[in-house]
């Protein structure tokens, strides 16, 4: 294990773009299937319609239909939410804690690590970004799981004709849904179950797996990104990039104290609130925090000044999903990121850092939430992608270089 890297001496080396940014293309055949037409003989809607016609003549009286659907829908929703999105007595979502926390560096076998991630998940996205920025693709291979219809993470390989080449690697890094590259099992749950002590907890991504010892190293995203940032500098392609330098640790923690509860988890607290009161609290805290961050970013290139840190990575993975998903699906409706004076430019600045766009699969994010996240969107209809979130828009200039106070930290972008 190597030592903590010194401060980034010349960010230009790391952030210098020489090739055109290509987004990962996501065309899972399984996700694109047209649902069966209403006219198929085994369609339950058709069957129910026939039964109601038999009983009530023409059709079910609308009042009866509405009250039946309202009662059954609300009851099932409450049942599902109470099990899958636990809340406190006021109806506020309380995220369960991860089971496998901060691993000891000394106990790690860096030759035997494998990362399990998924493209829609903002927590897994953090790990993919830090892995890319540090140049650890060859040290920590990744298997990308896809959301399954029953809520579990499944492995299904998607043809990847548009894979993005990673310099220094002979094979393209496939940030597309894959099979399980370690054991070939069908689900992330099966991987967890392979550990010697067995496992019956939440099978979340991201998860760092010790291949040789068949053990979960860590399944808490922040602990994983800290580890990727400083734990493998002897083998990283960018060992000098330090996303958590000692002198900024205090500031990073301060920002994390705002970003995690009110923004990263805040959007979930809006979307999973089980009472009006819980939603009102969550949504007000979310937008107060976004206002505060936006105001700060008017005069500062990144959250902690001129240097990109882990706090920026954590903020980015929520921002990039905000207008695409949270604004609509989690009722984070007060404003969109695109309406803030600084946040959209800041998001574009981060998106354009070499390696970052390749981790952002916008289509997979939308599909993951609108089509798979519990049945929160029962019609499975995916809204149109807002123009402010298009890859082409995200590549537009942001002019944030001028906010950097030291010429050393200016990022040179050649696209
Ligand atoms: N605190 C965890 C949260 C991870 C998490 O909740 N991941 C979600 C996907 S976005 C998951 O895998 N959920 C599956 C489940 O809860 O069973 C972290 O930051 O790593």
The CATH number of residue 367's host domain is 1.20.1050.10
| Domain shared by 369 and 300, yes or no | yes
Q: pLDDT in tens for each of the 415 residues of the chain? A: 333 333 233 333 344 444 566 656 544 444 444 444 544 456 777 777 787 777 777 777 888 888 988 999 889 888 888 888 888 988 899 888 888 888 877 677 778 999 999 999 999 999 999 999 999 999 999 999 999 988 899 999 776 545 444 444 434 455 899 999 999 999 999 999 999 889 999 999 999 999 999 999 999 999 999 999 999 999 999 999 999 999 999 999 999 999 999 999 999 999 999 999 999 999 999 999 999 999 999 999 999 999 999 999 999 999 999 999 999 999 999 999 999 999 999 999 999 999 999 999 999 999 999 999 878 888 899 999 999 999 999 999 999 999 988 755 443 333 2
The Å distance, Cα 132 to ligand 1 centre, comes to 21
Instruction: Quote the pLDDT of residue 269.
Output: 97
| Domain shared by 310 and 178, yes or no | no
Identify the residue whose C-alpha is closest to ligand 1 atom 2: 220
**Is 216 domain-assigned?**
yes
- Our answer on whether the CB atom of 121 is closer than 6 Å to any ligand 1 atom is yes
Tell me which of 200, 230, 260 is where a domain ends.
Answer: 230
Nearest to 302 by CA among 5, 6, 3, 15: 15
Instruction: Quote the pLDDT of residue 52.
Output: 76
Tell me which of 173, 206, 230 is where a domain ends.
Answer: 230
| Domain shared by 162 and 259, yes or no | no
The Å distance, Cα 323 to ligand 1 centre, comes to 21
Please tell me which residue in 203, 218, 238, 268 is annotated as part of the active site. 268
- Tens of pLDDT along 275-333? 999 999 999 999 999 999 999 999 999 999 999 999 999 999 999 999 999 999 999 99
The pTM is what?
0.85
**Is 85 domain-assigned?**
no
Between the alpha carbon of residue 346 and those of residues 182, 199, 301, 303, 401, the distances in Å are: 37, 40, 7, 10, 10
| Domain shared by 340 and 259, yes or no | yes
Distance CA(290)–CA(33), nearest Å, equals 37
Instruction: Quote the pLDDT of residue 311.
Output: 98
| Domain shared by 389 and 313, yes or no | yes
- Our answer on whether the CB atom of 123 is closer than 6 Å to any ligand 1 atom is yes
Tell me which of 230, 253, 282 is where a domain ends.
Answer: 230
**Is 158 domain-assigned?**
yes
**Is 71 domain-assigned?**
no
Dihedral of CA atoms 205, 113, 223, 294 in degrees, nearest 10, equals: -70
| Domain shared by 276 and 404, yes or no | yes
**Is 145 domain-assigned?**
yes
Enter the tokens of residue 303. 């959250």
Please tell me which residue in 121, 218, 314, 360 is annotated as part of the active site. 121
Strands lying side by side in the sheet with 142-147: 153-154, 142-147, 113-118, 207-210, 215-218
Give catalytic status of residue 268 as yes or no.
Answer: yes
| Domain shared by 250 and 384, yes or no | yes
State the CB neighbour count (10 A cutoff) for residue 287: 18
Domain of 140, CATH number, reads 3.40.30.10
Task: List, in order, residues 6 or more apart from 180 with CB less than 8 Å away.
Answer: 116, 143, 145, 155, 186, 190, 191
Instruction: Quote the pLDDT of residue 23.
Output: 59
The Å distance, Cα 267 to ligand 1 centre, comes to 14
| Domain shared by 191 and 289, yes or no | no
Enter the tokens of residue 90. 């006021």
Point out the ligand 1 atom lying closest to the alpha carbon of residue 96: 1
| Domain shared by 215 and 257, yes or no | no
| Domain encompassing residue 396 | 245-409
The Å distance, Cα 120 to ligand 1 centre, comes to 11
Give catalytic status of residue 121 as yes or no.
Answer: yes
| Domain shared by 281 and 389, yes or no | yes
The Å distance, Cα 159 to ligand 1 centre, comes to 26
If one residue of 154, 192, 205 were mutated to test the ligand 1 pocket, choosing by the most ligand atoms within 8 A of its CB, it would be 205
Domain count, the chain: 2
Please check whether residue 111 is in contact with residue 207, taking contact to mean a CB–CB distance below 8 angstroms. Answer: no
**Is 321 domain-assigned?**
yes
> DSSP secondary structure string, 169-184?
-SS-B--S----TTT-
Distance CA(249)–CA(252), nearest Å, equals 5
- Our answer on whether the CB atom of 8 is closer than 6 Å to any ligand 1 atom is no
Distance CA(219)–CA(103), nearest Å, equals 10
| Domain shared by 226 and 264, yes or no | no
The Å distance, Cα 186 to ligand 1 centre, comes to 18
If one residue of 95, 122, 204, 205 were mutated to test the ligand 1 pocket, choosing by the most ligand atoms within 8 A of its CB, it would be 204
- Our answer on whether the CB atom of 204 is closer than 6 Å to any ligand 1 atom is yes
**Is 34 domain-assigned?**
no
Distance CA(136)–CA(237), nearest Å, equals 7
**Is 236 domain-assigned?**
no
Identify the residue whose C-alpha is closest to ligand 1 atom 19: 221
| Domain shared by 173 and 289, yes or no | no
Identify the residue whose C-alpha is closest to ligand 1 atom 13: 204
Please check whether residue 224 is in contact with residue 208, taking contact to mean a CB–CB distance below 8 angstroms. Answer: yes
């Amino acid at each position: 294990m190597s030592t903590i890297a010194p401060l980034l001496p010349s960010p230009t080396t790391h952030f210098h773009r020489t090739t055109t940014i290509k987004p990962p293309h996501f065309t899972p055949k399984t996700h694109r299937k047209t649902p069966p037409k209403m006219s198929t003989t085994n369609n339950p809607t058709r069957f129910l319609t026939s039964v109601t016609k038999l009983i009530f003549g023409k059709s079910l009286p609308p009042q009866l239909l509405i009250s039946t659907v309202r009662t059954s829908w609300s009851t099932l929703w409450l049942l599902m939410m109470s099990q899958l999105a636990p809340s406190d007595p006021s109806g506020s979502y309380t995220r369960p804690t991860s089971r496998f926390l901060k691993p000891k560096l000394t106990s790690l076998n860096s030759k035997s690590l494998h990362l399990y991630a998924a493209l829609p998940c903002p927590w897994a996205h953090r790990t993919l970004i830090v892995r890319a920025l540090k140049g650890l693709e060859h040290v920590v291979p990744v298997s990308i799981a896809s959301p399954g219809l029953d809520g579990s993470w499944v492995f299904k390989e998607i043809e990847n004709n548009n894979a993005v080449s990673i310099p220094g690697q002979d094979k393209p890094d496939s940030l597309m849904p894959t099979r399980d590259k370690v054991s070939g099992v069908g689900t992330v749950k099966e991987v967890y179950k392979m550990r010697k002590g067995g496992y019956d907890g939440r099978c979340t991504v991201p998860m760092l797996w010790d291949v040789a010892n068949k053990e979960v190293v860590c399944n808490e995203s922040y602990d994983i990104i800290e580890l990727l940032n400083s734990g493998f500098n002897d083998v990283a392609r960018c060992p000098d990039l330090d996303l958590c330098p000692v002198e900024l640790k205090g500031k990073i923690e301060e920002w994390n104290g705002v970003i995690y509860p009110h923004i990263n988890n805040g959007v979930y607290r809006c979307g999973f609130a089980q009472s009006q009161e819980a939603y009102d609290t969550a949504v007000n805290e979310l937008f107060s925090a976004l206002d505060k961050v936006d105001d700060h970013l008017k005069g500062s290139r990144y959250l902690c000044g001129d240097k990109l840190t882990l706090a920026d990575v954590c903020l980015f993975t929520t921002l990039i999903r905000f207008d695409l998903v949270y604004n609509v699906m989690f009722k984070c409706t007060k404003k969109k990121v695109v309406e803030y004076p600084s946040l959209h430019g800041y998001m574009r600045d981060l998106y354009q850092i070499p390696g970052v766009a390749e981790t952002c699969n916008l289509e997979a994010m939308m599909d993951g939430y609108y089509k798979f996240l519990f049945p929160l969107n029962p019609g499975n209809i995916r809204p149109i992608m807002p123009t402010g979130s298009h890859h082409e828009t995200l590549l537009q200039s942001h002019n944030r270089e001028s906010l950097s106070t030291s010429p050393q930290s200016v990022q040179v972008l050649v696209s």
